[in-house]
A = this chain, B = another copy of it.
Amino acid sequence: MEFMDQLRAPLYEALLQFKAKKPYSFHVPGHKNGMILPYKELEVYQSLLSIDLTELTGLDDLHDPSGIIQDAQQLAAAYYGAKHTYFLVGGSTLGNLTMILSSCNEGDTVLVQRNCHKSVINGLTLAKVKPVFITPQIDKESRVATGITVDMVKAAFAKYPDAKALIITNPNYYGMTMNLTAVIEAAHDYEIPVLVDEAHGAHFGVGEPFPASAVSQGADLVVQSAHKTLPAMTMASYLHFNSKLLNRGRVETFLNVLQSSSPSYPIMASLDAARAYLAKLTNDDLLEIDSDIQSFRSALNQQLSHIKVIEKGKSYTFLDPLKITIQSQCTLTGFEMQRILERQGIYTELADSHNVLMIMPLARFKDGSIIIEKIKHAFEKIPLGMSEQKQGSVPFELEPFTEIEIPHHKMDNYEVTFILLKDAENTISAQDVIPYPPGIPVIINGERINKHHIQLCRELIEAGARFQGDAENGITRIKVVNTPH
């Protein structure tokens, strides 16, 4: 495909042309091209609703594309180097469900990186497979879970030669990447397809200083949240197919099942426009974007003694420039830092006990000095020096591979009960226990709880970790399968 062609956004342009006709709507949606506003202050909706259209003549059909949607998808495939790209209007959640359902059959053994998104777990449950979880590495400085190594993957294939798929999450939430090429090559040596949740890496592949996408590294299926780092609407994602091992028809079958039969045109068109935006970024643009971010990182480090910026660690291969993780060097937890920044109008992506994650724009960033001043102001009355809690670091060690005793889809057949965590040894957990950091489950739903799990939870609580899940029962009590006495 020609470079000039990549500057087009055929789907988005067709919607604008349709709008320019000032058509009369006797069709859905009920807002009639934005003529009917449900609420008096709804002007914020009006202009977009003029392109919130449906499968009218000339506007193609996501579920059977042959016109502008096909054209837009083909441009995206060419840009990323995929055999085929599908536009998703239900987010990467929908992409992960589709990847798993279309690659696995009921009862299959599937290898899964343990620090995966909940939609991966939900996909495994829907597909009724037998997951084997691979424990990732932990980054010492940020204390977050990163990726898995090629040695781990090879050991997994040796131990589970009948595995039908390998499911990877790369990069992690904090922008840390693994040696994906080697992992994929190892899997392909065993003819095992690799499904990559690249939700946080839709901008990967745009060029230096950003890393390559999993698509160009040989992954079979890759899902990307365009809305996370590209200028696309929330729920806009890409699913790339690039496999010699998998059946594309089956992917399309599940997309037809799971995607709305009335997909949102503004979301689809934002996928088209976001790809055109990437195509238009020159090397100089990327260097300028990177330079702005590096200046901001330096200023954060040099001008603010309350925080330090996390630099690239050894347990991963690359740190995405768009992610800046700042770690508390004062008495505040990450959660408290996040709240204090919000009072200054600064909204960040994520906090854990120690860190706050900021996501930078894939565009020039000129507000650095304003932001630095606001952060200074936010922290001015906070004492320096870490609390005792934050100084502790727990050696987070789990067995390399974990099988679960009761697959998630069979959990409905069991009675469950809440017991004290300290009494839970040798019971089967009926919930995940996920501390932040590192954001990787200590215990997985369906896994048998051992003495080490309980000890690790205790140490993590003492080190200040927070636990996702049931707020009331938290981590003093845990939901387990009720076994008869």
- B30 touching A230, Cβ below 8 Å: yes
Q: How many residues of A contact B (CB 8 A)?
A: 99
Min C-beta distance of A242 to chain B, whole Å = 23
Chain B residues in 8 Å Cβ range of A345? 21-24
Known: A48-B44, A50-B44, A361-B35. A118 touches B261 (CB 8 A): yes
Chain B residues in 8 Å Cβ range of A414? none
Known: A234-B262, A261-B117, A261-B118. A347 touches B227 (CB 8 A): no
- B258 touching A258, Cβ below 8 Å: yes
- B44 touching A261, Cβ below 8 Å: no
- A45 touching B48, Cβ below 8 Å: yes
CA distance A273 to B89 in the complex (A): 22
Chain B residues in 8 Å Cβ range of A92? 260, 262
CA distance A263 to B234 in the complex (A): 7
- A264 touching B261, Cβ below 8 Å: no
Min C-beta distance of A164 to chain B, whole Å = 15
A276 at the interface (CB under 8 A from B): yes
- A57 touching B339, Cβ below 8 Å: yes
A52 at the interface (CB under 8 A from B): yes
- A36 touching B257, Cβ below 8 Å: no
What 0/1 readout, one digit per residue, does chain A (227-241) give for beta carbons within 8 Å of chain B?
Answer: 111111111000000
Known: A22-B345, A48-B45, A234-B54. A260 touches B94 (CB 8 A): yes
- Which of A43, A49, A203 is packed against the most chain B CB atoms within 10 Å? A49
- B117 touching A262, Cβ below 8 Å: no
Among the listed stretches A75-83, A119-127, A140-148, which one makes contact with chain B, having 4 or more residues with CB under 8 Å of it? A119-127
Number of this chain's copies in the assembly equals: 2
Nearest to A225 among chain B residues (CB) is B262
- A126 touching B270, Cβ below 8 Å: no
CA distance A233 to B31 in the complex (A): 8
Min C-beta distance of A453 to chain B, whole Å = 25
Chain B residues in 8 Å Cβ range of A9? 39
CA distance A350 to B28 in the complex (A): 10
- A361 touching B89, Cβ below 8 Å: no
Nearest to A93 among chain B residues (CB) is B260
Known: A90-B90, A347-B25, A360-B26. A38 touches B264 (CB 8 A): no
Instruction: Out of B225, B260, B350, name the residue touching A235 (CB < 8 Å).
Output: B260
CA distance A45 to B260 in the complex (A): 22
Known: A227-B262, A267-B264. A31 touches B257 (CB 8 A): no
Chain B residues in 8 Å Cβ range of A21? 345
Chain B residues in 8 Å Cβ range of A44? 16, 19, 47-48, 50-51
- B362 touching A93, Cβ below 8 Å: no
A sample of 5 inter-chain contacts (CB < 8 A) reads: A23-B345, A29-B227, A29-B233, A90-B90, A258-B258
Q: A30-B228, A38-B232, A258-B258 are known; give 14 further A-B pairs, CB within 8 A.
A: A23-B346, A26-B348, A27-B350, A28-B359, A29-B231, A29-B232, A29-B234, A30-B229, A31-B231, A35-B361, A44-B48, A91-B260, A225-B262, A235-B263
